Structure formats: structure tokens, C-alpha cells
Amino acid sequence: MRSFTPRGAFARCTLAAALALTAGLVTLSPLARSAAAADGLQQVTNFGPNPGNLAMYEYAPADLPDNAPLVVAMHGCTQSASDYHSHSGWRKFADAWGFAVVYPQTGAANNSLSCFNWFDPAEDARGRGEAASVVQMVEHAAAQYGTDRDRVFVTGLSAGGGMTANLLAAYPDVFAGGAVDAGLPAQCATSLAAASGCQYGDQHLTPQQWGDKVRDSYPGYAGPWPRVAIWQGTADQTVAPVNGTELRDQWTDVWGIGQTASGTRTLPGGTTESTYDDSAGRPAVALFSVPGMAHGLAVSPGTGTDQCGSTGTYYLNHICSSYYTGRFWGLDTAPRDGDGALPAPAGLTVTGTTDTGASLSWSAVSGAASYAVYRDGTQVGSPTGTSFTDAGLSAGTAYHYTVAAIDPSGAAGTRSGAVTATTTGAAPACYTATNYHHVTAGRAHHSGGYTYANGSNQNMGLYNVAVTHTLKETSPGYFVLADGDC
């Protein structure tokens, strides 16, 4: 949806009221959860810290098993969570394949056209604003449903697609994959003034320059990276088709796999799917080019296996994008964590924690030569036995662990369900204040009218008393942005 600037103001905002949400968590019993699912889309009014002032809606099949995947689906401008739920087709596949869906919703209080603010560093960066609110929704839903944290995905249309790309860049440790529908590359624009240029024109950046925008969103992160599907109509006059190419360049560079397609095929509606494989031969990036499609989400009403959704404003009858996106992520199959056939280790348990460490144990798997231990999706250990102690952690912090068995050839089997270990001691100190007062207190500095956190040097926005952020002191004198994360 045209979002973002006077040139793009193509429709009036349809949401009249601000969305005022309170903090806290709602925990539903299995009976209440089943009742909510039977009624369809449900709002969660107390999902935790909400610095981005978003609303949370969710849908889950009544028989959703533990350790199921989770999909976050983000609407476009002038749309709503219920609108996206009704038209996009995600409900059909949640029922068929067994996963939960979270629908974040923004409103006129955040943006006059109810767009997610994909171009605002105060809203789309790690630990800040709307992005932090979405990740808090993931945390709430994952705890509520017992989600497989290695199978959390995010998708979005237009401005929701732009925010999706930013979430994938800022939180690759949270999202295993994403789909950007008629959206923008991660961190394409960092101001409202620059947004139109991204929408309508070629930015003339190299793949490495695009990839650096992702890598700079979470400095020091070493992978694994999300698998990214890109959907773009060739007749889109709101988000120019070059954005699909730029997204392809960005994410193939992040994966280090080049921009030459590993394979192409023709799908319904004449759609061309180009895939770009990782070193193991699995598609890491897919570009879906839909001929003649204007700006919107591709749907295909009908009862066929590969059909879904209903037409409407910005829901266009070409192909069921949700079906092909879900298959690209592997939602239609059991988890595929490696090429090995070994089962997931049973009995993963937290056996102890300290201020800086967490100890785990699990049951042996017959045929395993070793095990891979993953913290928040990243491998941190490869013990040969059935226990492991993770060190160098922050005090008072929750970490999520899974384990997979490794066969003698080095192939990883299916990962276990996740457990949470919370280190002891006090969490790093947090301070909430205006940028001006952060500077005067010695937690930040300013240059060129902008404020930067001491230590991490993260951009906090304008240096004035109207901008408020939370800083976390992770080590003496080293501060990181932590809006919604303290």
C-alpha cells in the first residue's frame, strides 16, 4: 500500500482510534485456547511491553500440538489484522498444516494511513518501537502455544513487507524465515523523506551494500540467516518491481550465494519462481515474479490444495502466495533441521544456572556420534556426551536451547523441543529517559543533531527532550538500545 509520503497518500486512513495497550501477559488454559481458536481471530490485550503501540491478534487451530510453528503476518497500509486474516489465506494453511498465526496491527496513532513505519529507525530497529512490540508478541505466543522456536516466520505486505525485511535483519535469531510481499529491502530508507525513493526507484547499490544493511542491523551476528521469499508484481506502480531485485541481491549476498538462480520454474498464473540455493543445495532465497500483477498480495480463491484467500482491495487474483510461501518455509512437512535421519533427543532439561552460565542434559540417541546444542537458534556447542554447560551469558537473562543428534557422517538430525534457561543474578541495569537526559547522564553522546548510545554507538534519533528510549548497560559504560527489552 502506498504508505508513506504525500505522493503515496492514495487512501484515507480507515482506523479512527489510537490503540492504547497495557503491559503484562495473558496465559490461556488449553480449554480457553481451544475456545478462542473455535471463534477464529482473537485479540490479546496484555502481551507484554509494547513500545510500538501495536495491537496483537492471533489465530490457532483448536488441535494445535505443542512444538508447532508460528507465523507472524503483517498487514499493509489502510488494512487491519482482521482484514489480512480474512483475505490472505493463512488461516487455511494454519488449519491444514498445524501452526499458529499472530497478526500485529498498527493504527492512525502511529501513522495516518495505518502503515507500519518501516522507514523510521526509532520503530524498525532491534529493541526499538514497533519491531520490539512484534518480537514481544512472538515471545507471548511462543510461551502460550509451546512454539518450536526454530520455526518462527514473518511475512508482510507493502509497508508490512518493509517491516518484515527489517525484522529479519534485526532479529535473525528469532525468525527462521520470512516473506516480503510487494515490500522493500531491509533498511532501504531511514527517514520519511527517503521512503519515496525506495518505493519508486532503483537505489543503485551493490549486493554487498545491500547485504551490509542487514549485517549492520545486528552487528556481530554470525548466523544462521533466515530463508527469504520475495513476491513482486511486474505491473506494481506503488512499489516498483526493482525492489524485488534489490531484495534478491540483499539476501543472496547475506547468504554468500551470488545472484545467479540455481533453478527456475513456472507456477500458476504465469508466475516465475527463481530459487537461490545454499551450500547444502537448499533454497535460501526465492523470488516470485507475478506477471501483470499490480500492487497487492497474490491470492487465488478456490478449494484446490494450492488455492487460498479472497479478493479485495490489494488482494489480487493471480496465485496463492501463502501456499507457496508456506511450502518454501517447509510448513507443510515435519521439521527438517539437517540431512540426517536421527530422531530428536528426548528429555532436554536445564540442570542448573549461574550468573553467567546454563547447564543442560538430555537422553542419548542411538547412533549419535555427537550432539549440536543451539542457543536462540545459533549453534554454541558440539559435545560428544549428553550434557553441556554454556558460558559467557548475561545475568538475569532468558535463553532458549534446542539439541540435535549428529550421526557419524556429520549430518544433523531433528532438533528437540526448546527449553528456557534463565541465568541468576540481576539483569543488566536499564535506564529510560529522554535522549537529552541520557546524554547529560553520560549514557550517550550526540553528534550532528543525533544521539548515539555510548559503547554500542547505536543511533537513538534526534537529540531533544521529545525522544525517549531505554538503554541497557550490558557492561560498565557499554549501553545498547533496549526499548521493550528490559
pLDDT digits (tens, 9 = 90+) for 378-387: 789 999 999 9
Which pLDDT score, from 0 to 100, does residue 335 have? Answer: 54
Exposure string (b/e) for 231-256, b if CB count within 10 Å is 16 or more? bbbeebebbbbbbbbbbbbbbbbbbe
- Structural domain boundaries in the chain: 6-329, 349-422, 429-481
- Do the domains at 6-329 and 349-422 have one common CATH topology? no
Which pLDDT score, from 0 to 100, does residue 485 have? Answer: 66
Exposure string (b/e) for 19-58, b if CB count within 10 Å is 16 or more? bebeeeeeebeeeebbebbeeebbebeebbbbbbbbbbbb
Provide the 10 A C-beta neighbour count for residue 346.
12
Q: For the domain covering 349-422, report its CATH number.
A: 2.60.40.10
Which pLDDT score, from 0 to 100, does residue 31 have? Answer: 34
Which pLDDT score, from 0 to 100, does residue 173 have? Answer: 94
CATH of the domain spanning 6-329, picked from 3.40.1190.20, 3.40.50.1820, 3.20.20.150, 3.30.465.10: 3.40.50.1820
Q: How far apart are CA 371 and CA 381, in angstroms?
A: 8
When the pLDDT of each residue in the chain is averaged and rounded to a whole number, the result is 87
Show the cell assigned to 3.
Answer: 504508505
pLDDT digits (tens, 9 = 90+) for 76-112: 999 999 999 999 999 999 999 999 999 999 999 999 9
Task: Supply the DSSP symbol for 342.
Answer: P
Q: Indicate the pLDDT class of residue 375, thresholds 50, 70 and 90.
A: confident
What CA–CA distances, in Å, run from 444 to 12, 84, 427? 39, 40, 20
Answer whether 296's CB lies under 8 Å from 314's CB.
yes
For the ranges 306-315, 346-355, 390-399, which has the lowest average pLDDT?
390-399
Which pLDDT score, from 0 to 100, does residue 413 have? Answer: 85
Hey, which residues are catalytic here? 158
